[in-house]
Amino acid sequence: MALPVHALLSWVYCTHLNMLSLSVILASISVASATFVNMTSVVPSRKVGKRCTGEIFSLADVAAAQECTTINIAGFTVPAGQTFSLSPPDGAVVSMTGQITFAVTPWAGPLMVIRGNDITFNGNSHNLVGNGDQYWDGLGGSGGIQKPAPMITLDMSGTFENVVILNSPQRAVAINTDGLTVSGVTVNNAAGAAANSRSAGKPAGANTDASPQEADVATLTFQHSAANNIVIQNSVVTNQDDCLAINRGTNIKFTGNSCTGGHGISIMFSVFQGSISSNTVVSGVTISNNIGEQFYRTSSAHSLTPPNPASNQQVRTRVFCGFAYLTFNSSGNALRIKTDATATGSTVSNIVYSGNKGSATQFGVLIDQSYPSVLGTPGTGVVISGVSFTGTNTLTVGSTGHRVEVNCGSTSSCTGTWNFAGLAVTGGTGSTVKNAPVTGGSF
> Is the backbone peptide bond immediately before 372 cis, with ω within 30 degrees of 0?
yes
Please tell me the predicted confidence (pLDDT) of residue 42: 60
**Residue 217 parent element (H or E):** none
Alpha carbon distance 335, 324 (integer Å): 3
Task: Tell me, yes or no, whether 421 lies in a domain.
Answer: no
Judged against a pLDDT cut of 50, whether residue 311 lies above it is answered with no
The confidence score (pLDDT) of residue 274 equals 55
For residue 132, is it within any domain? yes
- The residue with greater pLDDT, 12 or 266, is 266
d(CA 247, CA 275): 8
Q: Is pLDDT of 207 > 80? A: no
* pLDDT value, residue 276: 62
CATH number, domain at 280? Answer: 2.160.20.10
pLDDT of residue 421: 98
**In the 8-state DSSP scheme, what is residue 89?**
P
Nearest to 326 by CA among 16, 8, 9: 16
CA atoms of 320 and 358, how far apart (whole Å): 4
Which of these ranges, 63-77, 231-245, 273-287, has the smallest mean pLDDT?
273-287
- Return the pLDDT at 302: 30
Q: With respect to residue 188, please indicate whether it lies within any of the assigned structural domains.
A: yes
Residue 397 confidence (pLDDT): 87
Asked whether the beta carbons of 24 and 15 are under 8 A apart, the reply is no
- The answer to the question of residue 291 being in a domain is yes
Ramachandran assignment for 91, one of left (phi > 0), alpha (psi -120 to 50 degrees), beta (any other)? left
Cα(70)–Cα(120) distance, integer angstroms: 10
Catalytic residues: 241, 263
Higher pLDDT, 366 or 77: 77
Select the highest-mean-pLDDT range: 34-43, 274-283, 344-353: 344-353
Of 155 and 22, which is predicted with more confidence? Answer: 155
Query: In the 3-class helix/strand/coil scheme, how is 293-332 assigned residue by residue?
Result: ECCEECCCCCCEECCCHHHCCCCCCCCCCCCCCCCCCCCC
- Does pLDDT of 336 surpass 90? no
Nearest to 257 by CA among 225, 289, 230, 282: 289
The domain total for the chain is 1
Report the C-alpha gap between 18 and 271 in whole angstroms.
8
The answer to whether residue 339 is domain-embedded is no
In this structure, the number of other CB atoms found within 10 A of the CB of residue 298 comes to 10
What is the pLDDT at residue 352? 96
Ranking 6-10, 126-130, 207-211, 379-383 by mean pLDDT, the lowest is 207-211
Identify the residue with better confidence: 157 or 364: 157
**What is the reported pLDDT for 334?**
76
> How many Å apart are CA 103 and CA 209, to the nearest integer?
28
Residue 423 lies in a domain: no
Name the nearest CA neighbour of 306 among 170, 188, 184, 130. Answer: 188
Q: How far apart are CA 93 and CA 144, in angstroms?
A: 39
Residue 239 has pLDDT above 80, yes or no: yes
Q: Is the pLDDT of residue 431 over 70?
A: yes
107-155, pLDDT tens digit by residue?
A: 999 999 999 999 999 999 999 999 999 999 999 888 899 999 999 999 9
What residue numbers bound the domain in which 263 lies?
Answer: 10-44+98-329
- Percent of the chain topping pLDDT 90: 57
CA distance 128 to 416: 44
| Nearest one of 180, 338, 166 to 264, comparing CA atoms | 338
Closest CA to 260 of 207, 192, 197: 192
C-alpha to C-alpha distance for 429 and 60, rounded to whole angstroms? 61
Output the average pLDDT for the chain: 79
**Is the pLDDT assigned to residue 424 strictly greater than 80?**
yes
Determine the pLDDT at residue 416. 98
Interatomic CA distance for residues 423 and 440, integer angstroms:
8
Write down the pLDDT at residue 143. 87
Between the alpha carbon of residue 289 and those of residues 67, 194, 419, 439, 443, the distances in Å are 40, 29, 18, 22, 21
What is the spatial distance between Cα 259 and Cα 12, in angstroms, rounded to a whole number? Answer: 10
Query: What are φ and ψ of residue 70, in 5° steps?
Result: -125, 125
What is d(CA 289, CA 423) in angstroms, rounded to the nearest whole number?
14
* Sequence-ordered strand ranges (E) for 131-210: 152-166, 173-175, 178-183, 186-188
Band of pLDDT at residue 292, cut at 50, 70 and 90: low
pLDDT at 39: 43
The reply to whether 389 falls in a domain is no
3-class secondary-structure state, position 62? helix
**Of the candidates 21, 55, 16, the residue with the CA atom closest to the CA atom of residue 252:** 21
Distance CA 224, CA 29 (A): 7
Query: pTM of the predicted model, to two decimals?
Result: 0.80
- Angstrom distance (rounded) from CA 240 to CA 77: 26
- Identify the bridge partners of residue 305 per DSSP, sorted by sequence position: 296
**Among 170-179, 279-288, 410-419, which range has the highest average pLDDT?**
410-419
User: What is the tens place of the pLDDT at every residue in 49-90?
Assistant: 999 999 999 999 999 999 999 999 999 999 999 999 999 999
Most confident of 9-13, 313-317, 396-400: 396-400
Residue 279 inside a domain? The answer is yes
| pLDDT computed for residue 332 by the predictor | 60
pLDDT of 10 strictly over 90: no
Mean pLDDT value of segment 202-229: 57
